[in-house]
Amino acid sequence: MDRRQRKTREAIFAAFIDLLSEKNFAQITVGEIIERADIGRATFYSHFETKDFLLKELCEELFCHIFDEMTEEKNNHNHIFTCDAPDSVFLHLLEHLKRNDNNVLKLLSSRNNELFLQYFKQNLRKLVESRLAMFESERSAKLPESFWVNHIVSTFAETVRWWIDNDMSESPETIAEYFFLAVLFETIIL
């Protein structure tokens, strides 16, 4: 992607994120995004097929940033998310949520969040699969790997949802600890 395309894409993301601070995803129209980004309709559609694809790309941007920070490939990509990454990918993700980077919380907490949650879980699955070794000692030999991955993804997603529902009063570090303890506890019961 050349610099002009990247700037256009960033303008679209910025407009979308700005609109998310004002209203729910379902209420935002492509026309509003185009107007706010000051681009033409054809330009928008050359980058994103639909508003749903824009949402998907926003989610993928977050996870791509986290993957790149963890693999030290950050110099190869330009992200809309920036930070000093902690050692844990899960803590890293929680810190972005706590700071509400790019209004990502608006997507997770809105009534119309199922599409974002679906994209969030898809990317979370890739994250868990890339870090599966850190959970391997907790896994019962009876559990198929695909079940185990699904379990970890679901546990993390529900941990995040619980955290949001409880006004995020705990720190990202505490929530990361809760998550790891929950995964450990559930495997002990099995």
Encode pLDDT of 101-128 as tens digits: 556 666 666 555 677 778 888 888 988 8
Encode pLDDT of 134-146 as tens digits: 887 777 788 898 9
Question: What's the CA gap between 121 and 189, in Å, rounded?
Answer: 25
What are the sequence ranges of the domains in the chain?
A: 3-189
Question: What's the CA gap between 116 and 105, in Å, rounded?
Answer: 11
Report the interhelical angle of 51-71 vs 3-20 (nearest 10°).
110
Question: What's the CA gap between 66 and 63, in Å, rounded?
Answer: 5
The correct CATH number of 3-189 out of 3.40.50.970, 1.10.357.10, 3.40.50.10150, 3.30.360.10 is 1.10.357.10
Encode pLDDT of 52-67 as tens digits: 899 888 877 766 766 6
Task: Report which of residues 177 and 85 the model is more confident about.
Answer: 177
- Of 48-52, 68-72, 122-126, the range with the highest mean pLDDT is 48-52
Task: Report which of residues 91 and 31 the model is more confident about.
Answer: 31
42-to-14, 91, 165 alpha-carbon distances in Å: 18, 39, 39
95-to-2, 27, 143, 181, 189 alpha-carbon distances in Å: 30, 27, 31, 18, 30
Please state the pTM of the whole predicted model: 0.69
